[in-house]
Amino acid sequence: MTNLALARAFFEIADLMDLDGDNQFKANAYRKAARTIEALPEDIKDVHDAGRLQDIPGIGPALAAKIREWILTGSIKQLASLRRRIPEELVEITSIAGVGPKLAHRLHDELGITNIDELEAACRKRQIRTLKGLGARTEWNVLRGIEAFRQREGQVLLGVAWPIAEEIKAHLEILPTVEAVHVMGALRRREELVAGIELIVASSDPAQALAQLADLPYAASEVDIQNSNGNLLRGALQLRAGPRLEVAVSEPSAFPLALWQGTGTETHIEALLTFAREHGFQIEDKGIWIDGKWVMPKSEHELYELIGLPFIPPEMRAGKGEIEVAVKDGLPILVELRDLRGDLHCHSRWSDGVLTLEEMARAAQAKGYEYLAVCDHSQSLKIARGLDPEQLKEQHRDILQIRERLGFNLLSGTEVDILADGSLDLPDSVLARRDVVVASIHSGFRQDEKQLTMRVMKAMENPHVDIIGHPTGRLLGRRAPYAIDMEKIMEKAAKTGCVLEINASPDRLDLNDVHAQMAQTLGVKIAINTDAHSRAELENMYLGLSVARRAWLATDDVINTWSWPAIQQYFS
């Protein structure tokens, strides 16, 4: 938690430096240091106490001094100064996709815009287009960004909520009055955005279990204990990290039934209750009415089994025809984390990652992977220190040496930019020598649907392009998907055999589950990739897996459940 807190401080410094008009490369040095600290396998305080701060990659004397200041005083003067100097309203406005630091300053200085409501009003009054160099398209894109922001208001990213829930769960499990703890609700269904964290606890002393919530180190409010509802006693409190925590406590015998009741959507629950009634069963808080008596299921698996259904995984309990499919055709065997053999899109220190090639390879080996593709950015993405052909050639030599030394399939790849006209940022002669080519859009988001769709389709026609990275370009709650015809993209992918990515980065999860399911229907293959820039981000694979499971994908649909020779054969 110390590392995460310091990383957050460095990220904030970088964002405020951007707003202050400071050197962009200095701001990026803080971001890179933040990622490094976030991924450290040991506590930053221990590193400091051992005098090894400057042994950390990317930490020079200036950054080491800031870390030392933070550890010794709990604050950083530079951060405090930036907070005083930068108006809070500017920070808020830059949370809108399409509003960078420079535009935020212009909006503030030239139109007097101080918050998101005023920004929205200015767009609707067509005032933004009056500023030099801006137009109607800018207004439209800002409005789309505001809409995405509004949709996320009060919601938390799955990648933020899940780790917090796991920590709280671990804290509760050691309490003497607690027998079991499980997440439930939207979080257990692994939805990309959740309103809060829902947990269910099995305890023979529900009141005492709820009272102990006040001792959580994350608590920011008193526990609001509600009246008993059926078999459950409920409590809620606000967490310091942002989400609201709701906890339901049941008697241990009722735990499986309560867990089931608290997991599926209303549509799924109602469909299952209807199915049960049609087959002579009744489900209530007392259990399942079978053969003239109430039976309390000992597990969720038994609950489904008792009424004649196979176990339906939590991610499928969305009321989208899963019960009908279970009865008619049988459910697919969903892809699992243990099925994944490697990661086909990550970054190293050659571009904007924080680990060396060998450190990335060893991290992948430690996860039990068979292969890892380093796909550093291509030359046009200068802010990410993109690689030109000569640098790629040099990197390739290093990769071959590491591959031989470690006996591990470290793959030589690239994340090549799809340029404004649909051409690629590297020549075919360079792409042909890569093991994996991921093609992505990183600029020109304001083009219209026809242009953006053409760019991606043209890239897919290149025989060297294997995967389209983060295909819709969205950033959850910050940037809506860019205007692109996904049906045409899917059809072209089916025709060319190009693979589409589920990018497991917490703020992307792109493709989403709807598009991933559309891909499966058309026979388009998927790669679940982390796009990792650090060791910690390699652990985000479970987030991409959540999307795949909500899309009902099986191992045959996801290429990185295959061996590397099988992937090579598919790419060829």
Residue 446 confidence (pLDDT): 77
379: left (phi over 0), alpha (psi -120 to 50) or beta: alpha
Q: Looking at the 3D structure of the chain, how many domains does it have?
A: 4
Rg, Å, the chain Cα set: 25
* Domain match, 364 and 311 both: no
pLDDT at residue 34 above 80?
yes
Q: 47 or 469, which is more confident?
A: 469
519, 490 contact by CB (below 8 A) = yes
175, 209 contact by CB (below 8 A) = yes
Look-up: residue for tokens 């205007």? 483
pLDDT at residue 531 above 90?
yes
pLDDT at residue 98 above 80?
no
pLDDT at residue 1 above 70?
no
Residue 228 confidence (pLDDT): 59
Residue 276 confidence (pLDDT): 95
* Domain match, 397 and 531 both: yes
Mean pLDDT of the region 84-111: 79
Cβ burial 210-233 (10 Å sphere, 16+ → b, else e): bebbeebebbeeebebeeeeebbb
* Domain match, 383 and 472 both: yes
Task: Give residue 64's identity as a one-letter amino acid code.
Answer: A
pLDDT at residue 509 above 90?
yes
Q: 145 or 469, which is more confident?
A: 469
Q: What is the torsional sign of CA 8, 9, 11, 15? A: positive
DSSP 477: T
pLDDT band at 440 (very low <50, low <70, confident <90, very high): very high
Angle formed by the axes of helices 486-496 and 449-461, nearest 10°: 10
pLDDT tens digits along 145-192: 788 777 776 788 899 899 889 988 988 888 888 999 999 999 999 999
The rounded distance, in Å, linking the Cα atoms of 433 and 429 is 7
Percentage of the chain lying above the pLDDT 90 cut? 55
pLDDT band at 55 (very low <50, low <70, confident <90, very high): confident
The rounded distance, in Å, linking the Cα atoms of 414 and 432 is 11
Tell me how many degrees the CA angle 83-88-91 measures, rounded to the nearest 5: 95
* Domain match, 63 and 200 both: no
Last residue of a domain, one of 302, 328, 354: 328
* Domain match, 546 and 415 both: yes
Residue 392 confidence (pLDDT): 96
pLDDT band at 523 (very low <50, low <70, confident <90, very high): very high
Of 31, 24, 20, 12, nearest to 75 by C-alpha is 12
Whether residue 511 has a cis bond before it, omega within 30° of 0: yes
Task: Give residue 277's identity as a one-letter amino acid code.
Answer: R
* Domain match, 146 and 168 both: no
Dihedral angle over CA of 572, 567, 510, 421, nearest 10: -20
388, 379 contact by CB (below 8 A) = yes
Residue 241 confidence (pLDDT): 63
* Residue 192 structural domain: 156-258
Residues of the chain by 3-state class (helix, strand, coil), percent to 5: 50, 15, 35
* Domain match, 524 and 547 both: yes
Last residue of a domain, one of 276, 293, 328: 328
pLDDT band at 459 (very low <50, low <70, confident <90, very high): very high
The rounded distance, in Å, linking the Cα atoms of 117 and 150 is 11
Mean pLDDT of the region 208-218: 77
Give phi and psi for 205, each to the nearest 5.
-130, 75
The rounded distance, in Å, linking the Cα atoms of 138 and 487 is 26
Average pLDDT, the chain: 89
pLDDT tens digits along 64-73: 999 999 888 8
Long-range contacts of 117-120 (CB under 8 A, 24+ apart): 119/93, 119/146, 120/146
Q: Which tokens is 257 given?
A: 């039934």
* Domain match, 567 and 489 both: yes
Q: What is the torsional sign of CA 72, 74, 80, 82? A: positive
pLDDT tens digits along 125-147: 888 888 888 878 788 878 877 88
Residue 499 maps to which CATH number?
Answer: 3.20.20.140
Residue 370 confidence (pLDDT): 97
The rounded distance, in Å, linking the Cα atoms of 130 and 133 is 9
* Domain match, 322 and 350 both: no
* Domain match, 144 and 176 both: no
417, 425 contact by CB (below 8 A) = yes
Tally of CA atoms within 13 A in the half-sphere of 516 that contains its CB: 26
CA 355 to chain centre: 20
481, 474 contact by CB (below 8 A) = yes
The rounded distance, in Å, linking the Cα atoms of 248 and 231 is 9
* Domain match, 287 and 411 both: no
Q: Which tokens is 379 given?
A: 């030359």
* Domain match, 342 and 320 both: no
Between β-strands 193-194 and 197-203, what pairing exists: parallel, antiparallel or unpaired? unpaired
Residue 141 maps to which CATH number?
Answer: 1.10.150.110
**Which of 91-105, 330-344, 413-427 is predicted least confidently?**
91-105
Of 122, 113, 75, 121, nearest to 94 by C-alpha is 113
What are residue 246's DSSP bridge partners? 198, 236
The rounded distance, in Å, linking the Cα atoms of 472 and 5 is 31
The rounded distance, in Å, linking the Cα atoms of 513 and 547 is 5
Let me know how long the chain is. 572
Between β-strands 499-503 and 526-529, what pairing exists: parallel, antiparallel or unpaired? parallel
DSSP 436: E
Q: Is 499 helix (H, G, I), strand (E, B) or coil?
A: strand
Residue 211 maps to which CATH number?
Answer: 3.30.460.10
pLDDT band at 410 (very low <50, low <70, confident <90, very high): very high
pLDDT at residue 484 above 70?
yes
pLDDT at residue 229 above 70?
no
Last residue of a domain, one of 237, 258, 279: 258
**Which of 32-41, 275-284, 561-570 is predicted least confidently?**
32-41
